[in-house]
Amino acid sequence: DGRLDGLIHAPFATYAHQRWGLAAEARSPLDAEELPALLEAGRLAMLSVHPSIRTLDPQPPRAGGHLVLAVGADEGHLFIHNPSGFPNGSQSFARVPWADLGRFYAGRGIVLGSYAD
């Protein structure tokens, strides 16, 4: 229908910088392969994913449409904070297998950090 819903990344990155002094960069594309190094360097990433990431739905209708915060990674998983996740399950430090991320992730997000990094 031509209307915009949700957060527009570039203006939010500007707002995060102006309001909180964060280094914030809207990135599209933001390849999933870049995330471990960014997180290891102390950055965080707000990622556009489908909301059904909270259940690891085997067939989400599309990628994107919901934001989660990537906070860590290991060889097998990306760790996210998901405001609409389930408590004691998929909300805090939720483990998303790298093999599953592509079904949900739209390949864009906002990289956050400090200017001291």
pLDDT at residue 6 in the model: 64
What does the pLDDT average to over 33-45?
97
Position 115 confidence tier, pLDDT thresholds 50, 70, 90: confident
Give the list of residues 6+ apart from residue 56 with CB closer than 8 angstroms, or none. 96, 97, 100
Mean pLDDT of 45-73: 97
Place of tokens 């389930």: 86
Give the whole-number percent of the chain exceeding pLDDT 90.
Answer: 90
pLDDT of residue 51: 97
Catalogue all structural domains in the chain, each as residue range(s) with its CATH number: 9-113 (3.90.70.10)
Q: What is the mean pLDDT of the chain?
A: 93
3-class SS at 95? strand
What token pair was written down for 25? 């960069």
Identify whether the C-beta of residue 108 lies closer than 8 Å to the C-beta of residue 13.
Answer: no
